[in-house]
Amino acid sequence: MGYLLTIACYIASFSPSIALFCSFIAHDPVRIILFFLGSFFWLVSLLFSSLAWLGLSTVLPDTFLLSLTVCIIAQELSRVAYFMLLKKAQRGLNKITRQGQISVAPGVSDLHNARHMLALVCGLGMGVISALFYTMNAFAIFSGPGTIGLPNALKTGEIDTNRAGKYLPLCYTLSAILLTLFHVTWTIMVWDSCHKIGRIPSAFVPGAAAVVSHLLVTFLSSLNSRGFHVLVFAVQFLILLICIAYCNVIMGGTISSFVNGIGQSITDAVTLKQVRTLIEERKLRTQRQSVPDEPMTERAGTSNTVNA
């Protein structure tokens, strides 16, 4: 183990987050603030969870499942709280971000119809911080000479291969990726419920789906310690796909459009569409460059001369 492994783990874990951040957040100061505010809300939820855990552990002998449930509920409540805060602040934000006038903060995107974008930004903030908290201790250990498992092995007399081993960095990396993307989808779902509550009777469905999937994913991950890594990751990935598809529906798409989109993406990836597009664009640029800018003037000049 070494620093190379730690760097590789961080790159692999946070590549999706970095890509999303660079594409949708980095250029907008307001979104950056909202991103970090999302992180803060998640940290507050973690603080309340740990206090609850501390309190419960003084009363009950085994508080694992109960504490986990409390933790998930705290996170979802923090999402609701964040929504409420933002809702109160949106009028002010709108003044800053309104286009077509002299903006207080130039360079910000306007908020017209941007509730899902806001959910993405804030959800990503929550996802990144939770993935960071989940992985950083482990990744710090991977940079050292040792890996997890010896104290327990010396106690029990045998090594627990489900909690240790050389694939441990991969497990942490996959979990971090899933966790980040899940938080984005859960925020979109919960905020959709918050937005529609009182307007339509089925408004609670996305929120309930977020809580249920959050619980399911979390309890599934507890099966990792029993050695079902592959199965757990497969199921979690499937749940993520379902969540993304559901978010697509929330954002006005359909299941078929989602499936088509994925199919198209795979086709484009296999046929290297982006590379082809790039080459074509370059060709066009080259062709444009080969046509001189001045001929019209020259022709005009020439015609003038001729005319003369």
Q: Does 229 bind another protein (CB under 8 A)?
A: no
106 in contact with another protein (CB under 8 A): no
Do 49 and 71 form a contact (C-beta atoms < 8 A)? yes
| Smallest separation, CB 281 to another protein (Å) | 14
Count CB atoms within 10 A of the CB of residue 131.
25
Q: Which CB atom, from 205 or from 215, has the smaller least distance to another protein?
A: 205
Amino acid sitting at position 216: L
What part of residues 132-171 is at the interface with another protein (CB under 8 A)? 137-138, 140-141, 144-154, 157-159, 164-170
Output the smallest distance, CB 290 to another protein, in A.
Answer: 29
189 lies in the binding site for another protein (CB under 8 A):
no
| Residues in region 85-104 near another protein by CB under 8 A | 86-87, 90-91, 94, 97-98
Annotate 260-285 with DSSP letters as a single string: HHHHHHHHHHHTTHHHHHHHHHHHHH
- Among 191, 221, 229, 246, which residue interacts with another protein (rule: CB under 8 A)? 191
19 is a site residue for another protein (CB under 8 A) = yes
129 lines the binding site for another protein (CB under 8 A): no
Site for another protein, residues 262 to 301, rule: CB under 8 A: 265, 268-269, 274
Report the nearest approach of another protein to the CB of residue 237 (Å).
Answer: 13
Q: 188 vs 211, which CB is nearer to another protein?
A: 188
Q: Residue 12 or 73: which CB sits closer to another protein? A: 12
- Give how far the C-alpha of residue 236 lies from the chain's centroid of Cα atoms, to the nearest Å: 15
CA distances from 98 to 91, 92, 105, 106, 221 (A): 10, 10, 10, 10, 44
CA torsion sign for 236, 178, 261, 185 is positive
Nearer to another protein, 112 or 288 (CB): 112
Q: Are 173 and 9 in contact (CB under 8 A)?
A: yes
Write the CA distances from 92 to 95, 107, 115, 121, 208, integer angstroms: 5, 16, 15, 18, 30
117 binds another protein (CB under 8 A): yes
